[in-house]
Amino acid sequence: STNSSEGNSFLVPGATAATILMLGALHARRLYEDKKLEEARDKGIDMEFKPDVKATVMRFLPLRSISRCWGYLSSIELPIWLRPHVYKAWARAFHSNLEEASLPLDHYASLRDFFVRSLKEGSRPMDADPKCLVSPADGIVMRFGEIKGAGAMIEQVKGFSYSAISLLGTNSALPLIKEDNSSEDDSCFEFTSKLERKRSWWKVSLASPEVRDPAQRPVKGLFYCVIYLGLGDYHRIHSPADWNVSVRRHFPGRLFPVNERAARTIGNLYIENERVVLEGRWREGFMAMAAVGATNIGSIDLFIEPDFRTNRPMKTKLLFNSKPEERPYEPTNTGVALRKGDEVAAFNMG
């Protein structure tokens, strides 16, 4: 008995020190890799897609359960005296701006409440140019460009692409791309509201044949922009323009991390992860916005559909069903009208 207790008293600190050292080494390696990645990006070097063992192992982890567990832990109510310390530590670690929070720090009961905080009035002024599209979220611009080719492929990273239709769903009204990379446009009028649409209908009906000549219409292309939200970023999503959302689709799926490293190592990342797609039209035609979840940020709330929930326990065969749950918004043909800057959704912790 004495021998055994002596052995334990030696082993426990040794094992703890070894674990701390190992975690420290892993963290240092991660920081080094992140720095290398940032330097490469600054030099304009495009990192190529390269699957690794870690990505393969991730497929076998119960990431949805881990995410829900994290959500449960982060929603535990903290004592009032502890709240400012925890949130300040979080802000230091992930570079959040606490001065923008709409409430005093001790008013956020849990880390989860703090994470989805709203901002003080006027913290995010909208670009007033009516011809511009604004960013729907705080984050880093990962990719952007024109969607080209009949397959309407979007580049995840150099050497790996996924199709826009897989991201949005086969029922999507995504316009077909022609040989010259322009897209089909079935409407030659703008609309942001039912009334405006009615007015435009009159404008079109009464227009002279010259105005309706297809050659006079501007050629439309399809474009995309991918924005990655870091842990310290403000996690609410706003409307990028005045537009009408006609349908919402929910794709249950995995909850892989979606950071830059994951994008480089996990194929089909955005079309395998759980996501919510809002689709509709803006003044220039088609518009869709996909909010893609991740392990930390497992669930998505929609302010235009308060009863809607994601990241719920589900049978595996339903998780990877290619047919999403779809909900058309009323009234038919116009859906929900959103103004530029309106709050649309929020990413929750877990």
Partner 1 sequence: STVVLIFQAPMSNSSKEVSSASDFNFSVKRGDKIRVGEAIGR
Q: Is 41 in the site for partner 1 (CB under 8 A)?
A: yes
Applying CB under 8 A, among 229, 247, 266, 302 the residue interacting with partner 1 is 229
Sequence-distant (6+) residues with CB within 8 A of 87 are 98, 105, 108, 111, 114
Quick one: 106 or 155, whose CB is closer to partner 1? 155
- Distance from C-alpha of 254 to C-alpha of 293, rounded to nearest angstrom: 9
Query: At its nearest, how many Å lie between partner 1 and the CB of residue 77?
Result: 24
Applying CB under 8 A, among 72, 201, 202, 223 the residue interacting with partner 1 is 223
Quick one: 109 or 142, whose CB is closer to partner 1? 142
Q: How far is CA 328 from CA 244, 255, 320, in A?
A: 12, 25, 22
| Per-residue x/- track, 132-171, partner 1 (CB under 8 A) | xxxxxxxxxxxxxxxx------x---------x--xx---
- H or E element: which one contains 85? helix 83-94
| Under 8 Å between Cβ of 270 and 166 | no
Quick one: 328 or 341, whose CB is closer to partner 1? 341
3-state secondary structure of 194: helix
- H or E element: which one contains 170? none
Map the footprint of partner 1 across residues 275-314, applying CB under 8 A.
282, 284-294, 296-297
Q: What sign results for the dihedral spanned by CA atoms 233, 75, 251, 286?
A: negative
Closest C-alpha among 162, 203, 164 to residue 286: 164
Quick one: 83 or 256, whose CB is closer to partner 1? 256
Query: At its nearest, how many Å lie between partner 1 and the CB of residue 199?
Result: 21
Applying CB under 8 A, among 49, 106, 124, 199 the residue interacting with partner 1 is 124
Applying CB under 8 A, among 194, 199, 220, 261 the residue interacting with partner 1 is 220
263: tokens are 């994008």
Phi, psi torsion values for 140, nearest 5 degrees: -110, 135
Map the footprint of partner 1 across residues 190-219, applying CB under 8 A.
218-219
Quick one: 13 or 44, whose CB is closer to partner 1? 44
Strands 343-348 and 285-292: unpaired
Query: At its nearest, how many Å lie between partner 1 and the CB of residue 83?
Result: 24
- Distance from C-alpha of 214 to C-alpha of 178, rounded to nearest angstrom: 15
Applying CB under 8 A, among 174, 266, 302, 338 the residue interacting with partner 1 is 174
Q: How far is CA 102 from CA 87, 90, 117, 168, in A?
A: 14, 17, 7, 34
| Per-residue x/- track, 318-347, partner 1 (CB under 8 A) | -----------------------x-----x
Quick one: 84 or 187, whose CB is closer to partner 1? 187
Map the footprint of partner 1 across residues 64-123, applying CB under 8 A.
none
283: tokens are 């003044």
| Per-residue x/- track, 238-277, partner 1 (CB under 8 A) | x-x-----------------x-----------x-------
Applying CB under 8 A, among 75, 171, 182, 268 the residue interacting with partner 1 is 182
Please identify, among the stretches 6-14, 38-46, 190-198, 206-214, the one whose residues bind partner 1 according to the rule CB under 8 A. 38-46
| Under 8 Å between Cβ of 344 and 338 | yes
- Distance from C-alpha of 318 to C-alpha of 61, rounded to nearest angstrom: 17
Quick one: 79 or 130, whose CB is closer to partner 1? 130
110: tokens are 């849990």
Quick one: 113 or 260, whose CB is closer to partner 1? 260
Quick one: 83 or 259, whose CB is closer to partner 1? 259
Query: At its nearest, how many Å lie between partner 1 and the CB of residue 252?
Result: 16
| Under 8 Å between Cβ of 190 and 200 | yes
215: tokens are 């050659």
